[in-house]
Amino acid sequence: MTTATASATATATDFDVDLFVLGGGSGGVRAARVAASHGARVAIAEQSRWGGTCVIRGCVPKKLMVYAAEVAAMVEDARGFGWDIAAPRHDWATLIAAKDREIARLSELYVANLRRHGVAIHDGRATLIDPHTVEVAGQRVRAAHVLVATGGTPRKLAVPGAELAVSSDEVFHLPALPPRVLVAGGGYIGVEFAHIFAGLGAAVTLVHRGERVLPGFDPDLRAGVEAGLAGHGIAVAASAEIARIDRAGPEQGLIVTLTSGATHSVDLVMAAVGRAPNSAGLGLEAAGVVVDGRGAIVVDEWSRTRVPHIHAVGDVTGRVALTPIAIREGHAVADTLFGGRPTPVRHDHIPTAVFSQPPAASVGLAEDIARARGHQVQIYAARFKPMRHTLTGRNQQVLIKLVVDTADRKVLGVHMVGPDAPEIVQAAAIAVTMGATKEDFDRTFAIHPTTAEELVLLR
**Per 3-state DSSP, what percentage of the chain is helix, strand, and coil (rounded to 5)?**
35, 25, 40
How many domains are contained in the chain? Answer: 3
Judgement on whether residues 314 and 411 belong to the same structural domain of the protein: no
Q: What is the pLDDT along the chain (459 residues), one digit of tens a residue?
A: 443 433 444 444 689 999 999 999 999 999 999 999 999 999 999 999 999 999 999 999 999 999 999 999 999 999 999 999 988 899 999 999 999 999 999 999 999 999 999 999 999 999 999 999 999 999 999 999 999 999 999 999 999 999 999 999 999 999 999 999 999 999 999 999 999 999 999 999 999 999 999 999 999 999 999 999 999 999 999 999 999 999 998 778 999 999 999 999 999 999 999 999 999 999 999 999 999 999 999 999 999 999 999 999 999 999 999 999 999 999 999 999 999 999 999 999 999 999 999 999 999 999 999 999 999 999 999 999 999 999 999 999 999 999 999 999 999 999 999 999 999 999 999 999 999 999 999 999 999 999 999 999 999
**Alpha-carbon span 372 to 64, nearest angstrom:** 38
Structural domain contains residue 26? yes
Judgement on whether residues 45 and 174 belong to the same structural domain of the protein: no
Judgement on whether residues 207 and 285 belong to the same structural domain of the protein: no
Structural domain contains residue 87? no
Residue 444's domain spans which residues?
A: 358-456
Judgement on whether residues 167 and 303 belong to the same structural domain of the protein: no
Judgement on whether residues 332 and 285 belong to the same structural domain of the protein: yes
Judgement on whether residues 451 and 367 belong to the same structural domain of the protein: yes
Structural domain contains residue 88? no
Judgement on whether residues 269 and 214 belong to the same structural domain of the protein: yes
Burial of 323 (0-12, 13-18, 19+ CB in 10 A): buried
Structural domain contains residue 245? yes
Is 184 in contact with 157 (CB distance < 8 Å)?
Answer: yes
Judgement on whether residues 285 and 266 belong to the same structural domain of the protein: no
Domain containing 333 — which CATH number?
3.50.50.60
Helices 323-338, 26-37: axis angle to 10 degrees equals 30
Residue 23 φ then ψ, to 5°: 120, 125
Judgement on whether residues 190 and 307 belong to the same structural domain of the protein: no
Active site residues: 448
Judgement on whether residues 20 and 145 belong to the same structural domain of the protein: yes
Structural domain contains residue 410? yes
Is 274 in contact with 187 (CB distance < 8 Å)?
Answer: yes
- Reference 190, options 217, 166, 164, 208; nearest CA is 208
Structural domain contains residue 67? no
Structural domain contains residue 24? yes
Structural domain contains residue 206? yes
